[in-house]
Amino acid sequence: MKIVILSRNANLYSTSRLKEAAEKRGHEVQIISPLKCDLVIEKKKPQIFYNGSFITDVDAIIPRIGASVTFYGTAVVRQFEMMKVFTTVESQALVRSRDKLRSLQVLARAGLGLPKTVFTNYSKDTEQIIEKVGGPPCIIKLLEGTQGVGVVLAETKSAATSVLDAFQGLQARVIVQEFIKEANGSDIRAFVVDGVVVGAMKRQGKEGEFRSNLHRGGTAEVVELTEEEENAALKSARVLGLGVAGVDMLRSNNGPKIMEVNSSPGLEGIERATGQDIAKSIIRYIERHAE
């Protein structure tokens, strides 16, 4: 089977592990940058031109599309879909998951637990917004932020008002969420592949840090999910249409609260914390579904 990994950097842990796992199972692997693909859009003959030649005979793709290149990366995934190539993450699901506001609306409609969330179109009534999420402390997030960047914990009403005013003065779109104190600066990532949780880790922020992102110095350890948490992770991936997903949730006194569902979750943290071969699980997913 010929598998293409869409990645801008062949040396990234996730990309290299996927390549290694696929080759170990006897597949041919090509790593291509989605930004260097030219899309030939023609009636009944969609094609992709890359490095001087057309890409042909591909059985499956694994999109590793960074948030900063979602628009063009999604177009490349869509072109492969038009060429009848199986993808581990469909283009529509990728777009849906990257739109934080839309994904929260989809998850809420499906009945999943979420932190109380308010989105506003530059409203001046900041005090009302803060009260609607239960008052301070509260979390203020940039809609376009990733890896903990653009996330602020406002511990007082005046601090929250100042942050909101500053973001809105820059015309930056934000969401305001309740702070789940009992999570104690930790969250859980459940890694879902083809409707199965193949690994789960608990991420703990470093001392004095409310964000648990590993990129910000957090630590990770294997964790056993409750039945409610596992069901929430599986349902989150399913309603967003993701065959591969990293579902981030908080443990609250009222059950799991979904924070975000990542369509290109990294493999390094989850593999090291759990000891599971997540890359192999993704390749086996392709083997089950690609023609």
Segment 87-114 shows an average pLDDT of 94
pLDDT category of residue 166 using cuts at 50, 70 and 90: confident
Lowest mean pLDDT among 81-90, 145-154, 238-247: 145-154
Given the candidates 3.60.15.10, 3.60.10.10, 3.40.50.20, 3.30.43.10, the CATH classification of the domain at 2-95 is: 3.40.50.20
- What's the average model confidence in pLDDT over 8-25? 96
The answer, yes or no, to whether residue 170 has pLDDT greater than 70, is yes
As a dihedral over the C-alpha atoms of residue 33, residue 34, residue 39, residue 44, rounded to 10 degrees, the angle is 110
pLDDT at residue 141, as a whole number: 85
Q: Where in the chain is the domain with CATH 3.30.1490.20?
A: 117-179
Q: Between residues 281 and 172, which one has the greater pLDDT?
A: 281
Whole-prediction pTM: 0.87
| List of residues 6+ apart from 182 with CB closer than 8 A | 251, 252, 253
Question: Cα(8)–Cα(76) distance, rounded to whole angstroms?
Answer: 13
13-24 vs 278-289: helix axis angle to the nearest 10?
60
Q: Using 50, 70 and 90 to split pLDDT, how confident is the model at 216?
A: low
Cis peptide before 265 (omega within 30 of 0): no
7 closest CA partner among 54, 59, 52, 69: 69
Q: Calculate the average pLDDT of the chain.
A: 90
Which CATH homologous superfamily contains domain 117-179? ATP-grasp fold, A domain (3.30.1490.20)
> Is 80 exceeded by the pLDDT of residue 120?
no
Q: Is the dihedral of CA 175, 169, 67, 43 positive or negative?
A: positive
Identify the pLDDT of residue 217: 54
| Element housing 13 (H / E) | helix 13-24
User: What is the predicted pLDDT for the residue at 241?
Assistant: 97
For 279, half-sphere exposure in the C-beta direction (CA atoms, 13 angstrom radius) is 22
DSSP, collapsed to helix, strand or coil, labels residue 100 as helix
Least confident of 49-63, 149-163, 262-276: 149-163
The pLDDT of residue 278 is 97
Among 172-176, 242-246, 253-257, name the most confident range.
242-246
Q: Is a pLDDT exceeding 80 seen at residue 214? A: no
pLDDT tens track for 24-41: 999 999 999 999 999 999
CATH 3.40.50.20 segments of the chain: 2-95
Positions of CATH 3.30.470.20 in the chain: 99-113+182-288
Residue 105: CA atoms inside 13 Å, Cβ hemisphere, count? 9
- Per-residue pLDDT, 211: 55
Q: Over the stretch 172-212, which tens digit does the pLDDT of each residue have?
A: 788 899 999 888 888 999 999 999 999 999 988 666 555 55
CATH topology of domain 99-113+182-288: D-amino Acid Aminotransferase; Chain A, domain 1 (3.30.470)
Residue 9, amino acid: N
pLDDT confidence of residue 171: 75
